Amino acid sequence: MLLVDIGNSRCKWVRVQDGRWSQARACDNAELARVQADMQREPPRRVLVSNVAGDEVSARMHTYCTGVGCEPEFIHATAERCGVRNGYRIPQQLGSDRWAALIAARSRVPGACLVVNCGTATTVDALSAQGEFLGGLILPGLSLLLHSLHANTAQLVAAEGAAQDFPQDTADAMWSGALRATQGAIRHQFDALQRREGAVHCLIGGGAAERVMHGLSVPGEHFEHMVLHGLQILGEDRA
């Protein structure tokens, strides 16, 4: 089984055989043909895909899969699956990446959980102790926050600085602002979920996870490849 997580800017994929993973691989979406080359070297019998990069990318993945004799299974959010109940007013509007991450989190944590994915966008989603997805936040990721400052101001240049309580140069001020804004959103949602549920666990994944966790005033656990883990659970679910 081949699992493919296509985000807004990057793609991750892994093969699973008898529950065991091969080495996970990744590339920019502009290099998606690398997935095709991998499939051609060893055609998979089954492919599960989470794609939030649009219809054109879905069409390309469909072509890649059918080219090796396999029909791809594109994951979409539903009202309920694998112990998670979807609280969105229109369940199908929830992104497949968030849905898969919630399912992975539910499998890893039996109680209430805050599920954070730090990618191109940062998502902060809340799961109750009963497995109900209560809702969540979507905000620009760290790179987007910095880029927006650079793109919309005359004198601010996007550059990664260092997190400081009282930054004394522009790069540090911008980086600290983006980081603290992200951490503040996580802290706010953690506190809100804690007031509702009591004990809360926090899982954090995505490319910027380690940077967001540095100095975060929430006890968080780094959960790498959360979406891929969720896809595996969905693929193995017989319901």
| Catalytic machinery residues | 97
**Centroid of chain to Cα 96:** 9
- Distance CA(78)–CA(187), nearest Å, equals 28
**Nearest 5°: phi and psi at 112?**
-65, 145
- Strand order, beta sheet including 132-140: 80-81, 84-86, 132-140, 121-127, 113-118, 201-205, 220-222
Q: Crossing angle, helix 142-152 and helix 170-197, to 10 degrees?
A: 140
What residues have CB less than 8 Å from 124, skipping those under 6 apart? 114, 115, 116, 136, 137, 139, 185, 186, 189
Reduced to 3 states (helix: H, G, I; strand: E, B; else coil), residue 10 is strand
